[in-house]
Structure 1
Amino acid sequence: MQTLSNRLSYSLGLVCLCLVTAACTQLPQQAASTQKTSAPLAAEHQLATGVMPTENTGRQDINFESVRKAPPTAFLDIGDSQPAQCPQTGNKTCRVPDQASIPKDFWAHLRGQFNLALHLNEPQVQAQLNWFIANPDYLTRVFKRGALYLPHIVTEVQKADLPMEFVLLPVIESAFDPFAYSSGRASGLWQFIPSTARLYNVNIDWWYDGRRDLIDSTNAATAFLLDLGQTFDEDWLLALAAYNAGPGTVKKAMRKNRTRQRSEAFWQLDLPRETKGYIPKLLALAAIVKRPEQYNITLPDIVPETQIVAFELDNQIDLALAAELAEISLEQLYRLNPGFNQWATHPMGPHRLIIPAKQVEVMAENLALQPQDGQMRWIQHQIRAGETLGGIAQHYDMSVNALTQVNHLEGPQIIAGDILIVPTPVNPPLAYGLSSSGRSAKRRQHYETRYGAPPQNYRVKPGDSLWSIAKAHGIKVGQLAKWNGLATRAPLRAGENLLIFNERPVDERQTTAPASTMNAEATLRSVYYRVRQGDSLSKIAARFNTTVSAIEAENAFLNRQKYLQPGDQLTLVLNVRKPR
């Protein structure tokens, strides 16, 4: 009996052991499954405690919100949940977005993720820190300007697993001005030069400059910084130096120190002066954001009202119509989408617009009622004998490349009798205040108001110059140039139209342009360029997409010296909406 009992006990023990073993083999799979299903709950818990989730869904998503719930399909989709449906828009269904959720204290959330050593004992960092402390109003202005962009930048920097101090880089690069432009031809929030921008798939042409677009430029910046981090073994100070001066410059300085058996750390490298101040400036700014009370500085609130989202479209759309559909002003739409140079989105994309989050639902509803063929205005141009593609493009104020693109032409050759389709704005040019044509229209309106009469139109003849036309009409060359937005030595093209006003004395106090007309010059930026060995005015003009006469008009000293000298400083007034 005892033997039987022992055998039963032994058998029962074996069965239990097998069951336990089988259960243990299932634990890893069940844990993984549990982790997947609980991720949304964990994310919501993190949001509730003011911590942004860091998981990446692996899709090419655009998320301007610190919440990571599923947005409408008017956005690039990043979630799998199915919220309430809203009206059909073309072949897409938009979904009502979840409420935007910026952490209650944006700055506390950001500083909680800082991890770079700030090197506050370095004299350069202390010098930059003292400057910021002495100029608190500057930080207030810049961060208020950046309130629109910061939530998205935080999300993208975190998603790329970069140091969160890099969120502050646009302060150093552009002061959060998307129209910022440097003498090195760098443009946008992240200050990309054309070659680097194109290397990271940022489009730059007549229609669009992605360096000024929040989404495209931030994607490129995070990708570039990741590549630099890999190049310099995640020595982030060296990576930042390379972002500013170029990886070749940093590697050369490192090789020089290696040869001399010196340290290859950033602080010991022989780098350009600008780069030597670049990293200390960022570290000083990070120190202030980390402990603003220590420096008696108050950072402005980043509030939910600044929340913006990307609304996806099916095709090209006139921006005036888009503003109507979103029920916002056209100027606001331009400022949210500064990458667009013209009066419409790019025919080849991106087919999306950044709009206030609270306008998504009304945009979707209005777009559902708008036929797709009514989103752009097209006219047909029948090619006449003797016409050229360049002449037709000039007539419609387009670039040859843009006209070639919309007509799918393989080259500039055209045949008389063929039809070209030409995109034209739905509204008059004056309505598109921040486009190139809009600025010209607002300039005309300003002078018509000032002089109380419309201008005379003068068609330029072969051999004409601004000087000869001004002399013939008894006016000053400078005034004629101002009326037409030209430099005083600008070359003229035969057939070009010039505006000539009947000038009369007016009280200067009454001639100040109203605030609305000031937008005509909103995208002009002055930059300073130091002449290098081998430079000429024609080379500099070609580099910055301007003219020799425009450079001469802004630099009177050039008339007093025979040759351009290395080290000369030139002032260049540039329209940053012109593709470069």
Structure 2
Amino acid sequence: MNMKLHLALLGALLLTGCQALQTDSDKNNLGSTVNVMSDYRSHATSALDRSESSYPYMWDRIAAEMQLPTPNDPDVIAFRDWYIKHPKYLRTVTERATPFLHLISEEIDKRQMPMELVLLPIVESAYNPNARSHGNAVGLWQFLSVSGQRYGLKQDYWYDGRRDVVSSTQAALDYMAQLNAYFGGDWLNSVAAYNAGEGRIQSAIDINKAKGKSTDFFSLNLPRQTMEYVPRLMALADVIKNAKKYGIDLPKVPNHPYVRLIDTHGQIDLRTAAEQANMSLPELKRLNPGLSRNTTSPKGPNHLLVPVGVADELELALAEMAPQKRMRSDSDLIAVGDDSNVSATGDGSRSQTASSIAVHHKVKRGDTLWTIASAYGVSEKDLMKWNRLTKKKLKSGQVLVVNAPVAAKKAKLAIAKANKSKRYEVRRGDSLTSIAEKFQIKVNDLVRWNGLGHNHLKPGQTLTVRLDDSGV
């Protein structure tokens, strides 16, 4: 292998976020394939039909269920050789993937998709649910904010569905099913499109067609990242299928469920749930990386991924738990708006209870109802009720009452963080969407903060970007 390719391999395998090449316009090109998800699910087969004893270990089962032939391509061979020479990498990835391998394999089986797709999170994120790329793609499957929303992944102050292993896997396979229908069953072009977007792949196919050339993946002229993306996946598949041949001793992960999704029956403090499950809080959070706080969201989703051995007992315990015991007084955030924590007053506003503290917030230049509500963990609707506002427009110096679900000191710290802003100079090729993605903000907010209206962006133009309390 030449030195340039060797260095490229090292860099590629350490970085995440391979889906960063995808664009919004690409994903809008799917057209009539949008309903193909139901077709895949309607052909689902029961996992119970397959005997676990046939393949006692996950990598053996995965190898046996792969469907795609290994291409005889120089890049595939180069990546394969790298994996063979670095067995520690596969051990590290397997350790991260262990709780989720069976769960994801089952979902792929149900949809009758190639089992090679269970390896895609290795290429995307090295099976790290908290991975974030330079382009702000997030999670095992590296969804951007906008694409995550398009595929039903909720993102708010409490929860990011892109990090939720179950939800993001469903979304990724939904998208992959659409891509496969769009490309007429060509899995390699579908996988390439997951990285670069179907518009870019279709354009390369159209160019080859016009020149009378083949339209298979290896014949297309694509960005280097995409040209390495598919070979990395196929090289991994080759190593897993032929581990003995290559002298690789794959970690023995038993072929049985490790985790199960349970209903929490409403908002729950994670420390309380962990105690009920006889787990540590870090252990529970590792299985539920989509939860951004030490509680589940007051507005859902109301589920937790937990070890199968405690799932039934924990689900029953949470169902029977008294409302006042579900949330601790020292929770990072306790939901205002949860009927168990607050009571309604005669005028429709909410009164302060032990789980909330009335905070007086003085409106500063640049504040909006959205930034204030987000920082305090409340809704814009409640802010308007508490202050009897009929319009969302605020004035500097105006004082708002906030029934904050945290101590006043913490709430003020949160709003101080929310008020941080920075200046961004527009570069050639920037768009409102790409800038919003970069800073994990909404396009509408970017437009409003800068009074853009329908004006086009110009290189060198300076924009104000207000940062949320995540420190982005």
- For Structure 1 versus Structure 2, the TM-score category normalised by the shorter chain is 0.5 to 0.7
Q: CA offsets, 1:26-54, max 9 Å, x none?
A: xxxxxxxxxxxxxx9x976742652xxxx
Measure, in 2, the Cα distance between the counterparts of 1:161 and 1:394.
44
Within the candidate set 151, 155, 159, 1:204 is matched to: 155
SS in 1 for 2:177: helix
Report whether the alignment pairs 1:116 with 2:116.
no
Within the candidate set 94, 112, 123, 1:143 is matched to: 94
- Rate the CA distance shift 1:48–1:310 in 2: closer, same or farther, 3 A: closer
Partner of 2:405: 423
Measure, in 1, the Cα distance between the counterparts of 2:281 and 2:111.
33
Q: What's the TM-score, normalizing by structure 1?
A: 0.55
Measure, in 1, the Cα distance between the counterparts of 2:206 and 2:406.
55
Contact 1:204 1:579 in 2 (8 A): no
Contact 1:383 1:417 in 2 (8 A): no
Measure, in 1, the Cα distance between the counterparts of 2:296 and 2:97.
24
Within the candidate set 428, 447, 450, 1:533 is matched to: 428
Partner of 1:351: 302
The Cα of 1:197 is off from its aligned counterpart by: 1.1
Report whether the alignment pairs 1:104 with 2:89.
no
Number of aligned residues: 365
Q: CA offsets, 1:286-322, max 9 Å, x none?
A: 0111010111111111137971111102211122222
Report whether the alignment pairs 1:47 with 2:51.
yes
Measure, in 2, the Cα distance between the counterparts of 1:282 and 1:176.
13
Structure 2: gaps (5+ residues)? 1-44, 328-333, 335-340, 342-354, 442-458, 461-466
Partner of 2:221: 270
Q: Amino acid of the residue matched to residue 208 of structure 2? A: N
Q: Amino acid of the residue matched to residue 261 of structure 1? A: G
Q: CA offsets, 1:364-404, max 9 Å, x none?
A: 454355202432345345576966896999899x5367433
Contact 1:170 1:190 in 2 (8 A): yes
- Rate the CA distance shift 1:304–1:220 in 2: closer, same or farther, 3 A: same
Q: Amino acid of the residue matched to residue 404 of structure 1? A: E
Contact 2:359 2:404 in 1 (8 A): no
Identity value in percent: 32
Partner of 2:186: 235
The Cα of 1:423 is off from its aligned counterpart by: 3.0
- Rate the CA distance shift 1:418–1:375 in 2: closer, same or farther, 3 A: farther
SS in 2 for 1:210: coil
Measure, in 2, the Cα distance between the counterparts of 1:299 and 1:148.
16
Measure, in 2, the Cα distance between the counterparts of 1:182 and 1:335.
19
Within the candidate set 229, 249, 258, 2:209 is matched to: 258
The Cα of 1:110 is off from its aligned counterpart by: 1.5
Structure 1: gaps (5+ residues)? 1-39, 51-102, 430-436, 442-459, 461-483, 485-489, 493-530, 548-563, 566-574
- Rate the CA distance shift 1:381–1:424 in 2: closer, same or farther, 3 A: closer
Measure, in 1, the Cα distance between the counterparts of 2:247 and 2:144.
37
Contact 1:545 1:578 in 2 (8 A): no
- Rate the CA distance shift 1:248–1:155 in 2: closer, same or farther, 3 A: same
Measure, in 2, the Cα distance between the counterparts of 1:239 and 1:221.
12
Partner of 2:13: none
1:148-163 aligned within 5 A:
148-163=99-114
Report whether the alignment pairs 1:404 with 2:380.
yes
SS in 2 for 1:276: helix
Measure, in 1, the Cα distance between the counterparts of 2:139 and 2:175.
15
- Rate the CA distance shift 1:368–1:535 in 2: closer, same or farther, 3 A: closer
Q: CA offsets, 1:480-509, max 9 Å, x none?
A: xxxx9xxxxx879xxxxxxxxxxxxxxxxx
Q: Amino acid of the residue matched to residue 423 of structure 1? A: P
Partner of 1:86: none
Report whether the alignment pairs 1:328 with 2:279.
yes
Measure, in 2, the Cα distance between the counterparts of 1:413 and 1:320.
39
Measure, in 1, the Cα distance between the counterparts of 2:125 and 2:469.
16
Partner of 2:119: 168
Measure, in 1, the Cα distance between the counterparts of 2:143 and 2:433.
21
Measure, in 2, the Cα distance between the counterparts of 1:234 and 1:199.
23
Partner of 2:439: 545
Contact 2:376 2:404 in 1 (8 A): no
Contact 1:381 1:419 in 2 (8 A): no
Partner of 2:141: 190
Q: Amino acid of the residue matched to residue 544 of structure 1? A: K
SS in 2 for 1:310: strand
Report whether the alignment pairs 1:371 with 2:347.
no
Measure, in 2, the Cα distance between the counterparts of 1:167 and 1:491.
40
Measure, in 2, the Cα distance between the counterparts of 1:408 and 1:354.
36
Q: Amino acid of the residue matched to residue 238 of structure 1? A: N
Within the candidate set 197, 200, 219, 1:249 is matched to: 200
1:49-68 aligned within 5 A:
49-50=53-54
Measure, in 2, the Cα distance between the counterparts of 1:211 and 1:141.
22
Q: CA offsets, 1:459-518, max 9 Å, x none?
A: x9xxxxxxxxxxxxxxxxxxxxxxx9xxxxx879xxxxxxxxxxxxxxxxxxxxxxxxxx
The structure, 1 or 2, with the larger RCO (C-alpha pairs under 8 Å, 6+ apart) is 2
- Rate the CA distance shift 1:408–1:259 in 2: closer, same or farther, 3 A: farther
The Cα of 1:546 is off from its aligned counterpart by: 8.3
Report whether the alignment pairs 1:129 with 2:80.
yes
Measure, in 1, the Cα distance between the counterparts of 2:427 and 2:77.
32
Measure, in 2, the Cα distance between the counterparts of 1:280 and 1:392.
48
Measure, in 2, the Cα distance between the counterparts of 1:208 and 1:411.
28
Q: Amino acid of the residue matched to residue 157 of structure 2? A: W
- Rate the CA distance shift 1:263–1:408 in 2: closer, same or farther, 3 A: farther
Higher alpha-carbon Rg: 1
The Cα of 1:335 is off from its aligned counterpart by: 0.9
The Cα of 1:273 is off from its aligned counterpart by: 0.4
SS in 2 for 1:354: strand
Q: Amino acid of the residue matched to residue 245 of structure 2? A: Q
Measure, in 2, the Cα distance between the counterparts of 1:262 and 1:402.
57
Contact 1:253 1:271 in 2 (8 A): yes
Partner of 1:285: 236
